[in-house]
Structures are given as C-alpha cells and as structure tokens.
Amino acid sequence: MSCYRIEYTDHFLNRYYRKRKLYEIIPLEILSQRLLDNIKSGYIIVNSKHVGKEGPRYHTCIDYKNIKVIVIFEKASCYYKIVTAWKS
C-alpha cells in the first residue's frame, strides 16, 4: 500500500457530521492522519466479509483521547477512501 491520499464518501461525511457527530470527538484532519499512520504501520485488518466497490476493504481502530473510533475504508487505485466510522 503506497498511496497516501485520503478521500471521503458521502456516506462517511453524512455520519461524521450529522448522524454520529464524530467531529465532536476527533477532528477530520487527525482522523485522516491517524488512519495513514495505521496503514503505514500495518495496523489494519482486511474485511473479507464486505468487498469494496473500487478495491479491497479494510478496517482499523484509531485511539484518540481515550476514545476508540472504528474506521472502514477501501484502497482504490491511488488513494484510500473512508467508507464509514463510528465510536466504539
């Protein structure tokens, strides 16, 4: 995995800002950077149950201020796309 750009689905943004209000827990820039850190360190798990639209789907856990956020993302051709996230 050598791509280091993050994009967001409308589904994720809707949940981040409206439904789950994750912006109150973790800023989007920090969530994106922590996701890239987890990808680079290999702290990700292949989600074999759900196949991505553009590439393989993965999930990871991001710790921020003693709160865990689960992030589901896909690897597309030249970027990673966050599909959804929630507080664990």
Domain ranges for the chain: 6-87
pLDDT tens string 1-44? 466 799 999 999 999 999 999 999 999 999 999 999 999 999 99
3-state SS string over the chain?
CCCCCEEECHHHHHHHHHHCCHHHCCCHHHHHHHHHHHHHHCCCEECCCCCCCCCCEEEEEEEECCEEEEEEEEECCCCEEEEEEEEC
Using CA atoms, how far residue 58 sits from 18, 19, 24, 52, in Å, is: 23, 22, 24, 9
**Token duo for residue 69:** 């956020």
pTM for the whole structure: 0.89
pLDDT reported for residue 49 = 78
pLDDT at 48 (0 to 100): 77
